[in-house]
Structure 1
């Protein structure tokens, strides 16, 4: 076996190990999450009102405002979430007496813009199983059954998201073609 063949074999197995470790880590993260609820977005949720209405049954169950703390009810409090990339998001959460609704306000319009959300898309809420005060937020497009978290996990399963799959396929093809041969194979990543 030449040094180039050895190097190619080593690199191939190294990439495979990295992918396996990333999939294992992603599965652990998913298992740590408990699904809370999903909210299909209305035109007003993504419009100029800059707020997301949380259905009352979910708001009172998962994000209860302490009735004894008048300031919390009137001014709201900050709820912190992590998105599918681990980016923190902070939203002001409060109860609007005028419409008798629970809403996420400050920070919500930035989330809508960054994720390019539209009416009909679905926002997904999770919390950490062991740390009930740690929340996660994700989304999926209208009619799509996989969440952004699923899509992100799929992307992260490649050691090199933009070139990893092509590189591994090329390495595997050349490795199979060179079985039993003594010539040297040179592998060049395809970007």
Structure 2
């Protein structure tokens, strides 16, 4: 089957919202309490794509069944080489390989943009997500106990990290080159 991964557009917001909604309303996967509106999802897609990838997987029927994206881990300048990743799948796409294809593509793009590390926060007890991230070379760094509150309970958050490239060759005389913003990287890729 042909790979059906592409960059998200604002027109994908309704499908993305539909996939994301149960992770907000029925699970502790997200610490949001209210499902974002379609308009808010459009804004998130557009703002993410300036600097980081936001990918969707489209099935044979032309329907978005999964998405993965990255953002800057924290807003401080010194964190710009670290991306934070997220992935969400529709129920029918889970266990089908869609997630693996999306995440592999996301990691490849982040590496090619010049990121050094990717982190992922996994909330609650989520052995499927734990295993999935380990499969991609993420290592459990730390678990923050009772770090988020949802559904009348305190929830642990486990932080995983994947090294995309070594930091050993960087120094004061050889500082790391900042990652290429996704909007610029994408233009370069389409012109090749």
TM-score by length of 1: 0.26
Higher relative contact order (CA 8 A, sep 6+): 1
- Structure (1 or 2) with the greater strand fraction: 2
Larger Rg: 1
